[in-house]
Structure 1
């Protein structure tokens, strides 16, 4: 089974799609579109998800990354994204995305 980051987090924490849709104040259909990669997560939604899961919001903007869950059953872990500090290079990627995000914010401020 291949999932987006948002789907991997939901499944690894044993939440129903309805629960996350309610957290984001959107319909279940909208949430499932985000989980399936058919709809982008907004900055506000990424912030809510980050607060909910206690992770960096940049994780929810990773594009083209899917997580494969080979472990099923009790005490299994879902895919390689379980923490910010893992051995899969995500720390460096997130730091790069955070720098790019800061640069984009500065450019937006200049345009205002």
Structure 2
């Protein structure tokens, strides 16, 4: 899908203030539209849900967030949680099959 090539994830840190450390992040999707610029989810998600594009976007989002999480593994942020919002219609019996496994390395 053309739109997936224009989607970007931005990561908002979640900070543990008492410990003064990053405890996680939230993945935030944005659409870098070729003529309209950077669009927030409220500007484009309603338009992609009705034609049924949301499952494809949701799958891309999960895979991209997991890829980024894998890239962060060497930083050894522990504990670290990555929050990803998905469409309610995407969550079902086969939801766990949409999430790629991440191999945690120790040390």
What TM-score do the two structures reach when normalised by structure 2?
A: 0.29
What TM-score do the two structures reach when normalised by structure 1?
A: 0.29
Higher strand share: 2
